[in-house]
Amino acid sequence: MNKGKRRINFGSLSRVVKLLLKSYPVLVPLTVVCIIIASIMASIPAIFQQKIFADIGDWYQTGDWQGAAKVILPKIMLLATFYVLAMIAVTVYTQLMAYITQGFLNKMRKELFSRMQNLPIKYFDTNKHGDIMSRYTNDIDSLRQLVSQALPTFLLAGVVVIAVLFIMLYYSLWMTLVVMVGVFLIILVSGRLGGGSARYFMRQQKSVGRVEGFIQEMMSGQKVVKVFNHENHCREDFDELNGELFDNSYRANAYANVLGPVIMNIGNLIYVSIAVIGGALVLLRVPNPGLSSLFAGSIGVLTIDVMIPFLGMAKQFTGNVNQLAQQVNSIAMATAGAERIFQLLDEKPESDEGRVTLVNAVIDEDGMVTEVPEHTGKWAWKVPADVTIHEAGHILHERVENPDYNYVELRGDIRLKDVDFAYNKDKPVLHDISLYAKPGQKVAFVGATGAGKTTITNLLNRFYDIEDGKIRYDGININKIRKSDLRRSLGLVLQDTNLFTGTVMDNIRYGKLDATDEECREAARLAGADDFITRLPEGYDTILSNNGDNLSQGQRQLIAIARAAVADPPVMILDEATSSIDTHTEQIVQRGMDMLMHGRTVFVIAHRLSTVKNSNVIIVLEHGRIIERGTHEELLEQRGQYYQLYTGAFELE
């Protein structure tokens, strides 16, 4: 932090390094060793240059060519050996970094996706999908640059700077001070320009996420955009977001691009200063203290054989300082991306304190429940002995008592008592909801948009948890039931159909992964989908893509209903499942739905009131409260809200 302006996120950087070490506890240290070796090998030539120049000076004074050759050639050979070692070290570490980088990114993407699967529905309701996708693409790519380029280069340049600094101090304190004055100037410039660059690179990362999120929304909502003639309005919104991205990207790169040339020219000034000051010191034979004086026991003077290689050392030193400064920008941008990745990884996963599980069961004539490993078509709740089971009205749950568990037959008895809920605490959605659905009953929810119909089904699935009240499933509080088992017992057909890339058969089998082909076909026949599926080019093997855009909306909905049917759940939730189907198709689907609903507890949300007339009970909701309940005939006799909705629907028709 500097004056409240963010630079490198050292917390994210430290976390990346720790994850690298954890993922590759042997290869990462080996790579670091290779980088250090390569750095030292790159620094040593300055020492040999000085020795060779000194030997040449001796030869020039004595004229002993053969003696000079015997001294110089071994040093040249040793210098060549160091270069070969440096080349080998560089080759090894670059290959290791390629493997480590791709492996690390592979693990990070897996961890991202795994964590995303465990996030609650609320996270996806409150975050743009395009922004989430940006973390898999743009932010992961910035992490790749950090691991494969920025960190190795920073380490390599840092070791060279330290090694060359000690070599310069060994030969001349005065010349080293000249270099350090220039380096101090480089640090000031880098702090100013690099800080601004880092700040805007972070803003750039966030702007990219917003732009990608907007594009994703526009792609999925293109029909809505066109039907309301909002192309120009959307273009203006995009231009605003894209302009923000341009501004942040321009400023980030403007700072970054000017940094290199400025530092390079400061390095040139240092080079010229050393040449002038060093030349003067050589001519004036000024005492030249250095670390070498400690070993020699006396202070000598600066000579030309030290001066010439010192120029090369200064150039190498400032060049690597420049590299360090440049990597600050890369690391800043990468840590901005890493921070966004870790934000997703650190999101609180969906909690699940449930201990009641769903098991296959055999139920004998006396109602005794026995757990079995194979699928029997019957299920039971396996309830730990310390979990209370509430008797649901007159229903008596047969169960086998043992010290550890009770077994309760899965019947589909669902009861809500005094339930309150709010997506946001200051905006209540449901107030004092009490209702029950006995096994095999059909309960319909009716009401205007926003009345709370879908919210109730979200609570049954525990996509959200209630604020107050109780929801019991076969006498068991649903917060005691493990979420995966709870949801496995519920079939869900939504208004918005989601089909996945794959065959029609694959999409139906999604409801039950171990279902046979015949079970999938039977489910399709039950849903009324078999007829159109068999007329497709490849039948059940027809490939669907882009959410089944090669099918009509009604056909997609029929496949979704077949997907729920193959799971054969005891409880079905139909959230306006036939809203996208024409009247003729609806009659076909309704016959299949009636067969599907037979013997099951069913919750129905429908905008066509004609589809809920045969419900056992119809619940009328308004502003999150139950205002009427009863059968179709009873509600018509009351001439209340339902009567107005029903007669209004006929008038619309």
What pLDDT is stored for residue 521 in this prediction? 93
What pLDDT is stored for residue 79 in this prediction? 75
Pick the more confident residue, 41 or 58.
41
Q: What is the 3-state secondary structure (H, E, C) of 399-424?
A: CCCCCCEEEEECCCCEEEEEEEEEEE
In this structure, what token pair is assigned to residue 223? 């029909």
Within a domain: 429: no
Distances (CA, A) of 553 to 212, 224, 409, 490, 497: 27, 16, 38, 24, 8
Within a domain: 402: no
Average pLDDT over residues 306-327: 79
Within a domain: 272: yes
DSSP string, 195-224: HHHHHHHHHHHHHHHHHHHHHHHHHHTHHH
Check whether residue 310 and residue 459 sit in a common domain: no
| Residues whose CB falls within 8 Å of the CB of residue 521, separated by 6 or more in sequence, listed in order | 530, 540
What pLDDT is stored for residue 417 in this prediction? 92
Within a domain: 561: yes
pLDDT band with cut points at 50, 70 and 90 for residue 540: very high
Q: Give the residue from 291, 320, 345 where a domain finishes.
A: 345
Q: Name the least confident of 79-83, 415-419, 465-469, 595-599.
A: 595-599
Pick the more confident residue, 646 or 192.
646
Range of the domain at 472: 453-652
Answer whether residue 5 shows pLDDT above 80. no
Check whether residue 341 and residue 458 sit in a common domain: no
What pLDDT is stored for residue 224 in this prediction? 61
* Angstrom distance (rounded) from CA 28 to CA 101: 10
Answer whether residue 3 shows pLDDT above 50. no
What pLDDT is stored for residue 451 in this prediction? 85
What pLDDT is stored for residue 18 in this prediction? 92
Share of the chain above pLDDT 90, in %: 14
pLDDT digits (tens, 9 = 90+) for 515-535: 899 999 998 988 888 888 999
In this structure, what token pair is assigned to residue 27? 């290869």
Answer whether residue 482 shows pLDDT above 90. yes
Answer whether residue 419 shows pLDDT above 60. yes
What pLDDT is stored for residue 191 in this prediction? 67
pLDDT band with cut points at 50, 70 and 90 for residue 2: very low
CA angle 80, 83, 86 (to 5 degrees): 155
Answer whether residue 315 shows pLDDT above 90. no
- Angle in degrees, 0-180, between the axes of helices 45-62 and 65-117, rounded to the nearest 10: 170
What pLDDT is stored for residue 252 in this prediction? 76
Q: Name the least confident of 44-48, 257-261, 435-439.
A: 44-48
Within a domain: 32: yes
Within a domain: 372: no
What pLDDT is stored for residue 653 in this prediction? 35
Q: In 3D, which of 595, 534, 535, 588 has the Cα closest to residue 557?
A: 588
Q: Give the residue from 301, 319, 345 where a domain finishes.
A: 345
- Report the CATH number at residue 278: 1.20.1560.10
What pLDDT is stored for residue 501 in this prediction? 82
Check whether residue 340 and residue 459 sit in a common domain: no
pTM: 0.71
pLDDT digits (tens, 9 = 90+) for 223-269: 666 656 777 878 888 888 888 888 888 877 777 677 667 777 777 78
Please say whether the beta carbons of 286 and 301 come within 8 A: yes
pLDDT band with cut points at 50, 70 and 90 for residue 643: confident
pLDDT digits (tens, 9 = 90+) for 350-401: 888 889 999 988 888 777 888 888 888 788 999 998 888 886 443 334 444 4
What pLDDT is stored for residue 50 in this prediction? 55
Pick the more confident residue, 490 or 549.
490
Answer whether residue 215 shows pLDDT above 90. no
Q: Give the residue from 285, 317, 345 where a domain finishes.
A: 345
pLDDT band with cut points at 50, 70 and 90 for residue 167: confident
What pLDDT is stored for residue 29 in this prediction? 93
What pLDDT is stored for residue 292 in this prediction? 66
Within a domain: 2: no
Please say whether the beta carbons of 517 and 540 come within 8 A: yes
* Angstrom distance (rounded) from CA 488 to CA 496: 20
Please say whether the beta carbons of 218 and 129 come within 8 A: no
pLDDT band with cut points at 50, 70 and 90 for residue 1: very low
Please say whether the beta carbons of 203 and 248 come within 8 A: yes
Average pLDDT over residues 12-34: 92
Answer whether residue 100 shows pLDDT above 90. yes
Domain tally for the chain? 2
Can you say whether residue 193 is alpha, beta or left, with left for phi > 0 and alpha for psi between -120 and 50 degrees?
alpha
Q: Which of 16-30, 211-225, 279-293, 564-578 has the highest mean pLDDT?
A: 16-30
What is the b/e burial string over 637-649, where b = at least 16 CB atoms within 10 angstroms of the residue's CB? eeeebbeebbeee
Average pLDDT over residues 574-595: 68
Within a domain: 52: yes
